[in-house]
Amino acid sequence: MAKLLEVQELRTAFTSASGVVRAVNGVSWDVEEGETVALVGESGCGKSVSALSIMRLVDPPAGRIEAGKVMYKGRDLLKLSEEEMRHVRGREIGMIFQEPMTSLNPVLTIGRQLTEGLEIHVKLDAAAARERAIELLGLVGIPDGARRLSQYPHQFSGGMRQRMMIAMALACNPSLVLADEPTTALDVTIQAQILELMRGLSKRLGVAMVINTHNLGVVARYADRVNVMYAGRIIERATAAELYANPRHPYTLGLLHSVPRLDEPRRARLHPIDGQPPDLSRLPPGCAFAPRCAYRVARCDAEVPELTPAGPGGHVSACWESARLIREAAA
């Protein structure tokens, strides 16, 4: 299938009081048409900044995209004018944020927020935009759309607001939706509703999706391919099935082992990853995970490992000791 989005050697950095923070430190990944790709990792791994960089929503002067390309349908988004970029954001790529209340305008009605984009980007007249808005609310499971249009975000519950965000993201028939921790702020039963809704819509409308999450369960059910990030880099990539069956990076392995699972017998003890997450303004010269890694050898402290083939279906892992991991897994 054709590549819809190709992120190449992207670097985004922020200047803070403690120095330069390399939030995204040279990452390359892609999304095919209609596919769901996950960026997985813990806070500070660079998944949110990756999404913001694609949308060019990294605020200068503190933040800047230093290098790389974001090829979308053959054009480099980083080279577009602000005017052209606005069109991409409105029409081509939708975005869903973690906290819907902070990304909806509290003083505009639901109707206005939905129709604004339709009028500007799709050039619908007011009546047609209103009709489409009601249709969109129905699409995301908000009944009684005509009445809802005159309401304000505070009159919606958390789950409804997230449905509304999805409706806004889909309003102009985008080919790609970036969802940044779309269900983290929601309750479990509402999470399930929203994720099933997103999966259904993505399949039905053929929209490709990027889901940023720290939840390995969410990834297992909803992603086709997974990029695991740590300290601003991708450290492993595989199809979801392959990643869970054969993790080839000690960090991925550690993440999978550290969470208790409902489908397995209860373990006497959990197996956490030792140590603390890295300070991004003082990254070690070698592998950023080395200080916490059980497989660490001398080379890990000196040289950053590149992504190298580790299994079928484009499975790659950035670990000097991945051969040992594979041997141990086979044993």
- 198 Cβ neighbours under 8 A, 6+ residues apart: 166, 179, 182, 209, 222
Q: At closest approach, how far in Å is the CB of 209 from another protein?
A: 16
Q: Of these, 179, 219, 235, 288, which contacts another protein (CB under 8 A)? A: 219
Residue 121 or 163: which CB sits closer to another protein? 163
- 183 Cβ neighbours under 8 A, 6+ residues apart: 162, 190, 191, 194, 195, 213, 218
Smallest CA-to-CA distance from 37 within 184, 306, 205, 228 is with 228
Q: Of these, 69, 86, 214, 296, which contacts another protein (CB under 8 A)? A: 214
Q: At closest approach, how far in Å is the CB of 254 from another protein?
A: 6
* Distance, CA of 254 to CA of 294 (rounded, Å): 9
Q: At closest approach, how far in Å is the CB of 222 from another protein?
A: 8
User: Binding to another protein by residue 254, rule CB under 8 A?
Assistant: yes
Q: Of these, 147, 203, 221, 327, which contacts another protein (CB under 8 A)? A: 221
Site map 281..300 versus another protein, x via CB under 8 A? -----------x--------
Distance of CA 331 to the CA centre of its chain: 34
* Distance, CA of 117 to CA of 38 (rounded, Å): 27
Q: Is 330 exposed, middle or buried (0-12, 13-18, 19+ CB in 10 A)?
A: exposed
User: Binding to another protein by residue 260, rule CB under 8 A?
Assistant: yes
Site map 61..80 versus another protein, x via CB under 8 A? --------------------
Residue 43 or 81: which CB sits closer to another protein? 43
Q: Of these, 189, 282, 330, 331, which contacts another protein (CB under 8 A)? A: 189
Smallest CA-to-CA distance from 144 within 123, 124, 163, 171 is with 163
Residues that bind another protein (CB under 8 A): 42-43, 157, 159-160, 187-193, 195-196, 214-221, 240-241, 244-245, 254-256, 258-263, 266-267, 269-274, 276-277, 292
